[in-house]
Amino acid sequence: MILPFPISLVVIMGVFIFLSMYMRKVMMKRMGAGKGLGIFNPGIGSGKLKYYCMTCGEQHNQLACPKCGSKMKRVGT
């Protein structure tokens, strides 16, 4: 059965959107982040991030390190 042009385009787009949403759901479930509201889920390991100065190792959440003044920082757990 062949559908006329405008209807077939709508059907193809609907199938594409449905498959992409389904595949996203499957992949999120595989990664263990299937709980929550999808894009609104904070993600795996939703604890607070800790930032450490790359120069002196001080833990802080400011723009510049309060100890040495460096602006370079890394994320740790």
77 residues of the chain, pLDDT tens digit each: 788 999 999 999 999 999 999 999 999 888 876 555 555 555 555 567 889 999 999 998 888 999 999 999 998 86
Based on the domain organization, do 7 and 33 belong to the same domain?
Answer: yes
Show the domain range for 58.
Answer: 47-77
- Report which of 46, 47, 68 is spatially closest to residue 58, judged by C-alpha positions: 68
Residue 26, classed as helix, strand or coil, is helix
Q: What is the DSSP letter of 48?
A: P
Based on the domain organization, do 33 and 53 belong to the same domain?
Answer: no
Based on the domain organization, do 10 and 31 belong to the same domain?
Answer: yes
Based on the domain organization, do 40 and 11 belong to the same domain?
Answer: yes
Residue 12: per-residue pLDDT: 96
Based on the domain organization, do 56 and 74 belong to the same domain?
Answer: yes
Q: How many structural domains are present in the chain?
A: 2
Contact at 8 Å (CB) between 33 and 41? yes
Based on the domain organization, do 52 and 20 belong to the same domain?
Answer: no
Which residues, in sequence order, are CB contacts of 30 under 8 Å at separation 6+?
none
